[in-house]
Amino acid sequence: MLELPLNTDFTHKVVVVTGAGGVLCGTMARAFAQAGAKVAALDLNQEAVEKLAEEVQAEGFILRGYRANVLEAEELEEIHQQILSDLGPCDILVNGAGGNNPRATTDNEYHHERTEGQKTFFDLEPNGVDFVFKLNFQGTLLPTQVFARDMAERKSGCILNVSSMNAYVPLTKIPAYSGAKAAVSNFTQWLATHFAGTGIRCNAIAPGFLLSNQNRALLFQEDGTPTPRTSKILAGTPMRRFVEGEELLGAVFFLCDDCAASAITGVVLPIDGGYSAYSGV
């Protein structure tokens, strides 16, 4: 059981969470269920969301797992119909699917410091860059096209996107991921404006540095010692630590609460231990 940060009651709400097979979005899905929502957990990894569903249902809450490719519109629509039958129309959509790919990552931070055999900017694979942009941007756009229809018809609802601190200041080595998350932030503002007259609010969170399976190789050596990149990150973070996944929940609940955040739309909220506030001196 999670220790929920706010006493927000999402009873009778249907919450769809993409990327719920991962640790961060799986935690969000579990938290919404504990707060009374009926949760649809979507991920390409069917085994992961089914395991999550078993655990949450055993605790007495409502969560169902669905295998979903967020880049396949027809597949998403089929799952939408299943969710309508199983749980009802979507009230809250959390677009959490995303990530980086080694094919879109350089080995060197600075080109002039490159060494023989390293993958440089000039070696980045176009299909890798394309995959990262599609996963993060289209992986947010397509689920919104499918599930926000429920909200538009009822003139009520909330969309929460997952951006990143990379959207504010691009990080070395990961140009595609940084650019894609900047697109997610911009799209969040676009959606907020587009849906402003429909009763739908759209916001985003921008997590700072979290340790995940996707970035572990960038942050720690195989023997568990921190990489130089980790030292740089912590030196630039006033709280001098990584953000924990459960520390995102307070912002998630607040932004998705129609009462607490009724006039808040188009916001991208950093959750970064002070990283965005620190000048380095």
Is 169 a member of any domain?
Answer: yes
- Is residue 151 domain-resident? yes
**CA nearest to 44, candidates 80, 16, 71:** 71
In DSSP terms, 161 is beta-bridged to 95, 204
pTM score of the predicted model: 0.95
Q: Would you say residue 214 lies in a domain?
A: no
Q: What is the pLDDT of residue 214?
A: 67
CATH of residue 127: 3.40.50.720
What are the pLDDT tens digits along the chain (281 aa)?
A: 898 988 899 999 999 999 999 999 999 999 999 999 999 999 999 999 999 999 999 999 999 999 999 999 999 999 999 999 999 999 999 999 999 999 999 999 999 999 999 999 999 999 999 999 999 999 999 999 999 999 999 999 999 999 999 999 999 999 999 999 999 999 999 999 999 999 999 999 999 998 776 677 778 888 988 888 898 899 999 999 999 999 999 999 999 999 999 999 999 999 999 999 998 88
Q: Is residue 141 part of a domain?
A: yes
Give the pLDDT of residue 141.
98
Strand locations in the chain (E): 14-18, 38-43, 62-67, 92-95, 157-162, 200-207, 268-271
Q: Return d(Cα 92, Cα 36) in angstroms, integer.
A: 13
Phi and psi at residue 54, to the nearest 5°: -60, -45
Pairwise CA distance, residues 188 & 34, whole Å: 27
Residue 179 lies in a domain: yes
Domains: count for the chain: 1
Which residue in 189, 209, 186 sits closest to 201, CA to CA? 189
Residues with active-site annotation: 177
Tell me, yes or no, whether 237 lies in a domain.
Answer: no
Q: What integer pLDDT is reported at residue 5 of this predicted model?
A: 87
Answer whether residue 251 is part of any domain: yes
Query: Token pair 């410091």 is at which residue?
Result: 113
Q: Which residues span the domain enclosing 195?
A: 14-208+243-272
Instruction: Name the pairing type of β-strands 14-18 and 38-43.
Output: parallel
Per-residue confidence (pLDDT) for residue 212, from 0 to 100: 73
Residue 92 lies in a domain: yes
Reference 160, options 246, 248, 76, 96; nearest CA is 96
